[in-house]
Amino acid sequence: MALDAHQEKLNFQAEVKQLLNIVVHSLYSNKEIFLRELIANASDASDKFKFEALSDPALNENDASTQIRINFDKAARTITISDNGIGMSRDEVVTNLGTIAKSGTREFLAQLSGDQKNDAHLIGQFGVGFYSAFIVADKVTVMTRRAGLGSEHGVCWESAGDGEYTVSNVDKATRGTEIILHIKENEDEFLENWRLRSIITKYSDHLNISILMPKYTEDEKATEEWETVNRATALWTLAKNNITDEQYKEFYKYVAHDMEDPLAWTHHRIEGGNIDYSCLIYLPARAPFDLWQRDTHHGLKLYVQRVFIMDKVEQFVPHYLRFVRGVLDTSALPLNISREILQDHQVIPKLRAALVRHVLDLLERLAKDDPAKYADFWKEFGNVLKEGPAEDFANRERIAKLLRFASTHADHGQHVGLADYVARMKAKQNRIYYITAENVNAAKSSPHLEVFRKNDIEVLLLTDKIDEWVVSHLPEFEGKSLQSVAKGDLALDELVTEDADAKEAEERKDQAQQKEFESLLKEIQTILTEQIKEVRLSHRLTTSPACLVRDQDALGPQMERLLKAAGQTVTEAKPILELNPEHAIILKMQGLDQEQLREWTQIIYEQALLAEGSSLPEPAVFVQRINKVWMKMFE
């Protein structure tokens, strides 16, 4: 509702109301982060100003310098954070301070449970930003003007965090933003000089912008002189031996807008080569809520000669490494670089290759030196890294070494690498065997594993939806081809039959069984001619009567289901039905009449469908067939 020609009272977006409530009540144990978040916003505003001023010097308004000033007034119970960065217009104020434009916000808020500790972790992933001010303030006033606009275009935004805010036009002589926090009665600690300085030193010492506070006398009286509180030196430009782990962690929280410490990081300064650059790259401890949002941008902060250019630049890391956070600073790009120019700039492939190498080096060190921490990484980001073999052919072998899978030879919940598998292979084994299934229990109970279990041959259990797609782009590892146990006609004689006499006896047995069951195979083929490609005797079954297998190059059932769920058109290949010639049911089928054989054949086929995780075309008819067979057994 309009109060006058220049002032409006507006309501927060519903998501903002919910976020405000959670921020205030879930982050009470770490209240001091409000200052870190507001300083980070001021720093970003200053960076954006510098970048825009490169192409529009008029924005400088006769002052190209940027700084952040922080002051407090005990009597008035206020803290003021001001910057002379880019500032905001009236429309930008309403957009930035009244709504949340992040992709997937509704989905994120739906994850919140009401448990304060758990919700605080999720809020940390989301990033609280400006709204953290209400942790310590019962009213917030924002005075801002966008650089380049006249003083009459200043904007005042004010809210008590109760669901409403007011916006009005004001005169503001200088560009930038001033935030006034009206401190709550029980938050006196933040109205102390030493407390504010300690927070700035702890969280913002690394920022490449001066943070100023009034200079105080020995008896704690403020003077009119301002002094720089932080080092105001970009962290990534310092020598590694001059940076503490705590400083690295705090810089991560700034650059990633995360409240948790990073899992690991790597820091490089390359000078004197083909391209000069510095980079500081982090692995988060947890996956952000929007990791799988298609329209979410991921990437590094880009600086050119220490001047911030743009955020979330995706050109420097491939999509399968989108979880990394950090900064890249280079002198190899022009200051006026744009996202459009980045697409084709000749330096980008070189920088991208270098950064990918640094990330893979970091992951390899983590996997080798701290397997437990790598297991934590894999739990959060393993399915993202699995996209690598298809996206990055040049690094496919390196990525393959980092992949982890469940295995028949690993404890429940544990994962093994392909190198571990190869090290345990049988002496004459030349293939890496795997099975795809909906989950580990389904994989372990599959009839396709029977001969492998009998002969103690390890099989990888691929249970993630992406896995079959992954192995389709990873035909071999260290010279060993990857082979699905549910595809092709597996003959494991070279592994399970040692001496020539035993091998010859096995071949004679196969020939005899083929002759014995030739007629039955033909009859079953006729009955199932619409459902299967062929029927044959199995080399992989030991206890089950039958199973379905696919041709070597055909899609597996899991991939077929995944593509169908995604709306893709799938040309289904008929499976092959394999029968166990030593199973009592198969032996019994030789003496059945035509009607009974048809019923039993359909049951065997549909059981095989269920065993591979497929759904039955007519479940009720399957039950009727089973009941019919049972009734005849009791006659």
What would the pLDDT profile of 387-401 be if each residue is shown by its tens digit? 999 999 999 999 999
Give the model's pLDDT for residue 591. Answer: 84
For residues 592-614, average pLDDT: 90
Contacts 24+ apart (CB under 8 A), 408-411: 408/444, 408/449, 408/452, 408/453, 408/458, 408/459, 408/461, 409/458
Confidence tier at 31 by pLDDT (50, 70, 90)? confident
For residues 64-76, average pLDDT: 95
Q: Which range has the worst mean pLDDT, 14-23, 419-428, 460-469, 584-593?
A: 14-23
Neighbours of 193 (CB within 10 A): 17
Decide if pLDDT at 127 tops 60: no
Confidence tier at 124 by pLDDT (50, 70, 90)? very low
Q: In terms of pLDDT, which residue wins out, 40 or 17? A: 40
Give the model's pLDDT for residue 103. Answer: 46
For residues 600-621, average pLDDT: 90
Q: Which range has the worst mean pLDDT, 123-127, 260-264, 531-535?
A: 123-127
Give the model's pLDDT for residue 4. Answer: 45
Contacts 24+ apart (CB under 8 A), 512-520: 513/537, 513/581, 516/581, 517/579, 517/581, 517/586, 517/590, 520/586, 520/589, 520/590
Give 258's Cβ-side CA count (13 Å radius).
24
Cα 288 to the chain's mean position, in Å? 6
Decide if pLDDT at 156 tops 90: yes
Q: What is the pLDDT of residues 196-244, one digit of tens each?
A: 999 998 888 878 899 999 998 888 788 899 999 998 888 999 999 999 9
Give the model's pLDDT for residue 318. Answer: 93
Strands 176-183 and 164-170: unpaired
Decide if pLDDT at 115 tops 70: no
Phi, psi of 304 (to 5 degrees): -120, 115
Give the model's pLDDT for residue 107. Answer: 55
Q: In terms of pLDDT, which residue wins out, 507 or 171? A: 171
CA-to-CA distance for 355 and 547, rounded, in angstroms? 47
Q: What is the pLDDT of residues 76-87, one digit of tens each?
A: 999 999 999 999
For residues 279-295, average pLDDT: 85
Give the model's pLDDT for residue 175. Answer: 96
The secondary structure element, H or E, covering residue 537 is strand 534-537
Neighbours of 477 (CB within 10 A): 21
Q: What is the pLDDT of residues 472-486, one digit of tens each?
A: 899 999 999 999 999
Decide if pLDDT at 370 tops 50: yes
Decide if pLDDT at 113 tops 70: no
Q: What is the DSSP letter of 12?
A: P
Q: What is the DSSP string of 414-455?
A: --EEHHHHHHT--TT--EEEEEE-SSHHHHHT-GGGHHHHHT
Give the model's pLDDT for residue 288. Answer: 81
For residues 179-187, average pLDDT: 95
Largest CA distance in the chain: 107
Give the model's pLDDT for residue 256. Answer: 86
CA-to-CA distance for 168 and 471, rounded, in angstroms? 59
Give the model's pLDDT for residue 447. Answer: 93
Strands 68-73 and 211-216: parallel
Q: Which range has the worst mean pLDDT, 301-305, 417-421, 500-504?
A: 500-504
Give the model's pLDDT for residue 474. Answer: 92
Decide if pLDDT at 191 tops 90: yes
Confidence tier at 554 by pLDDT (50, 70, 90)? confident
Neighbours of 112 (CB within 10 A): 17
With a pLDDT cut of 90, the percent of the chain lying above it is 53
How far, CA to CA in Å, does 513 sit from each of 546, 578, 579, 635? 15, 13, 11, 32
**Domains in the chain and their CATH numbers?**
7-230 (3.30.565.10), 236-363 (3.30.230.80), 403-485 (3.40.50.11260), 504-634 (1.20.120.790)
Q: In terms of pLDDT, which residue wins out, 26 or 39? A: 39
Beta strands in 88-236 (DSSP E): 137-145, 154-159, 164-170, 176-183, 211-216, 222-228
Decide if pLDDT at 343 tops 80: no
